[in-house]
Amino acid sequence: MRHRKSGLKLNRTSSHRDAMFRNMVTSLFKHERIRTTDTKAKGLRRWADHLIALAKRGDLHARRQALSIIREKNVVYKLFDKAAEWFGSVSGGYTRIIKIGRRPGDAAPISIIELITIEKSKKKKVKKAPAAKKKAAEDKAAVAKKEDKPEQKKVENVSTTKIED
């Protein structure tokens, strides 16, 4: 029975599997997207979510735990520096897996795993856009009202001259 034994074996020893996922998670945070097989991407998602949760915590103990997994200091620094900015208010779902087809050599299903970053600047633009549209519509209406009145006077002057002729 396999009760309480989570994770994928991937036909590797445990030390090889740990080393592989450490390298993959380092590459994921370094390049923000990598291309791998579907099953490896699903296994990598657990590692990445755990490390992002550590980075959001941000204390010294969390940084040391992350350094025990990610072996490059500059990648850990980048992760801890940008984690609050990228994933501040989100409590999960930090990665996205996109299936892209099959590998030509052995027909293994290939996918791209990438970090989902939330940009706050887009939300601000969306909130400002409706107010700007309303203001622009009001300006157009005001300009149209000003233009309508002089045109009516011109028409009246032209019509009176025609009657006199």
Helical axes 14-31 vs 38-57, angle rounded to 10°: 70
Instruction: Give the whole-number percent of the chain exceeding pLDDT 90.
Output: 58
Query: What is the spatial distance between Cα 17 and Cα 132, in angstroms, rounded to a whole number?
Result: 54
Query: What is the spatial distance between Cα 131 and Cα 138, in angstroms, rounded to a whole number?
Result: 11
Instruction: Give the whole-number percent of the chain exceeding pLDDT 70.
Output: 76
The residues spanned by each domain of the chain are 14-118, 120-165
Strands 109-115 and 33-37, by their bridges, are: antiparallel
Taking only the tens place, the pLDDT of each residue in 16-62 is 999 999 999 999 999 999 999 999 999 999 999 999 999 999 999 99
Phi and psi torsions of 91, nearest 5°: -110, 20
Helical axes 38-57 vs 73-87, angle rounded to 10°: 80
pTM: 0.69
User: Domain 14-118 is in which class?
Assistant: alpha beta
